[in-house]
């Protein structure tokens, strides 16, 4: 096992709870904090130590990992008075695995460096299945030495682990991933919308195109769930909306227009306004009228 033995983990939702389970199984000493304690209870019963705040969860740890909701939540748990940067011991590694803003990642990196802390941004892809199976792709931004030190921890959680560059590079790469997903998911939904409108059998169309050049993870892994009537979230529609909003805002700052992203983001916002934001991203099929 890594020389980094003690881990504080903040955020035990769908993704985080599975990730903490793998760390416990690998023999790490894990302390946890979540805004809703009941979500952490199964982990506490498995041996994780409960903490009363994110700051408390950071105290005395070799590594602090976070996977929370939105960039404002990331900024709060790290930079608020008594938060992670204030509370972590000198030399600790701070790892934000939330999909967040590269601007926030750069701000945390600078604040951490001023206190002799090692901060990296390490958002993940692979969804709930990747978290459960420890097959996540981990996109890391920060100093290469810190990436190398943390790699034994990352290897417990994922398979494809890439150092993308300096602070914020992990978040920028995750934005690329979500931008690609937006087009692929919307394209699959539109294909089945066309099939339905033209009188084709959707299942026959799926069987014909899903294994060819039109096939994608979004078609076979995500849209398939919706076609089967399963809208439980592996990844919530509102969270994809959050990710695409980050991509849209930063693309504007970088002087890059992303019209497909903007269109899919508009569609998701309409779905959220209709009260469907907590369904899985496969619910976009409903926007296109494929599923009632």
> Which residues constitute the domain of residue 252?
172-287
Residues 14, 141, single domain; the answer is yes
In 3D, which of 267, 182, 277, 274 has the Cα closest to residue 237? 277
DSSP codes, 153-166? HHHHHEEEEEEEES
Domain termination residue (choose one: 107, 136, 166): 166
- Quick one: pLDDT at residue 2? 66
Residues 184, 279, single domain; the answer is yes
Region 237-259: what's the mean pLDDT? Answer: 96
Residues 192, 161, single domain; the answer is no
Region 236-259: what's the mean pLDDT? Answer: 95
Residues 98, 192, single domain; the answer is no
Are the C-beta atoms of 51 and 81 separated by less than 8 Å? no
Span 138-155, pLDDT tens digits: 999 999 999 999 999 999
pLDDT at residue 1 greater than cutoff 70: no
**The residue to which tokens 């539109």 are assigned:** 190
Residues 208, 130, single domain; the answer is no
Q: Give me the active site residues, please.
A: 174
Span 44-54, pLDDT tens digits: 999 999 999 99
- Dihedral sign, CA of 42, 46, 48, 51? positive
Domain assignment present for 292: no
């Amino acid at each position: 096992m890594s020389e980094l033995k003690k881990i504080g983990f903040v955020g035990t939702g769908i993704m985080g709870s599975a990730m903490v389970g793998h760390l416990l199984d690998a023999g790490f000493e894990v302390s946890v904090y979540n805004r809703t304690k009941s979500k952490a209870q199964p982990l506490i019963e498995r041996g994780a130590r409960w903490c009363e705040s994110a700051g408390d969860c950071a105290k005395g740890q070799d590594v602090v990992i976070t996977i929370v909701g939105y960039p404002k939540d990331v900024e709060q748990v790290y930079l608020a008075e008594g938060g992670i940067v204030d509370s972590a011991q000198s030399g600790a590694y701070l790892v934000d695995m939330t999909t967040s803003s590269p601007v926030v990642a750069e701000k945390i990196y600078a604040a951490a460096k001023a206190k002799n802390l090692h901060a990296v941004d390490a958002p993940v892809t692979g969804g709930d299945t990747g978290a459960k199976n420890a097959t996540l792709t981990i996109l890391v931004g920060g100093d290469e030495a810190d990436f190398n030190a943390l790699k034994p921890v990352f290897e417990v959680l994922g398979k494809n682990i890439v150092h993308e560059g300096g602070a914020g590079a992990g978040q920028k790469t995750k934005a690329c991933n979500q931008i690609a997903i937006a087009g692929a998911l919307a394209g699959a939904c539109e294909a089945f919308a066309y099939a339905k409108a033209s009188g084709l059998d959707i299942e026959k169309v799926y069987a014909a195109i899903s294994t060819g050049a039109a096939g994608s993870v979004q078609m076979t892994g995500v849209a398939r769930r919706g076609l089967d009537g399963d809208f439980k979230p592996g990844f919530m529609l509102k969270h994809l909306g959050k990710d695409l909003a980050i991509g849209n805002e930063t693309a504007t700052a970088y002087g890059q227009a992303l019209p497909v992203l903007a269109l899919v983001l508009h569609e998701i916002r309409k779905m959220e306004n209709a009260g469907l934001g907590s369904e899985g991203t496969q619910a976009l099929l409903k926007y296109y009228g494929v599923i009632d």
